[in-house]
Amino acid sequence: MGRSSNKKAAILLTAAQHFSRYGYEGISLDAIAEEVGITKPAIYYHFKDKAGLYEAVLLERLQKLGDAIEEATGRGDPVEKLRSYIDTFGEFLQEHRCFAAILAHEFADNGAHMPESAVCELSRTLGRLTAILSEGREAGVFELNNPMQIQLMVVSTLIMHQTTRNLRHRALECLGDDRSASIEADMGSLASDLAQIVLRALASKENRV
């Protein structure tokens, strides 16, 4: 990897951290440049403007997420594929911690700053989920359902878990409760539990326990 590529990667990584903390409106290209150790014009060498930098940050992660989900859900029966879908989404958010916060900002702003290219890339995950649910219905293991509702249930739960640790602590402190296990539950355990809940809700009458 050349010097220019290394610098571009450093800009993207630092920008992701800033977007996750401050949202699109709150970030400063000057602050990003200072942290990377470059001048602001050096950012413009790689990216046209703030919007272009933000698009690159989103696409880098959304493309990896889409690829990971497609690979993980390419085998098995519908139940196994749905488990893999939720597990992979959770693992990705755990590995790319800034990404969960960036998505949380976008969801709160109703996607105000998300470019169309990123929306289309994000829709790959919904498309894959829709295909899995359709396969499950055809196999008789899932009841009729709304894929968007399932997507919202999965994604919002995983993102909230990743981005609200301190708030959960404070809420329990107000109740005089100390349930550290519920606060510190790792993403893998949460994803597994969530998959079980979703599968139970989707199960056809013949497959309900």
Return the closest-CA partner of residue 91 out of 79, 102, 99.
99
Distance (Å) of CA 10 to CA 73, 141, 176: 32, 46, 43
- The average pLDDT across 152-166 equals 93
pLDDT tens-digit profile of 133-148?
999 999 999 997 799 9
128-134 long-range Cβ contacts below 8 angstroms, 24+ apart: 128/66, 128/69, 128/70, 128/73, 128/85, 129/82, 129/85, 129/154, 132/73, 132/78, 132/81, 132/82, 132/85, 133/78, 133/82, 133/202
Q: Quote the DSSP letter at residue 203.
A: B
pLDDT reported for residue 5: 74
Residue 1 scores a pLDDT above 60: no
Can you say whether residue 140 is alpha, beta or left, with left for phi > 0 and alpha for psi between -120 and 50 degrees? left
75 phi/psi in degrees, rounded to 5: -145, 160
Model confidence band, residue 115 (pLDDT cutoffs 50, 70, 90): very high
Residue matched to tokens 């790319």 = 96
pLDDT tens-digit profile of 162-194?
999 888 888 888 887 666 555 567 888 899 999
Residue % of the chain over a pLDDT of 90 = 79
Structure tokens belonging to residue 79: 């139940």
Domains of the chain: 55-207 (1.10.357.10)
Residue 97 scores a pLDDT above 70: yes
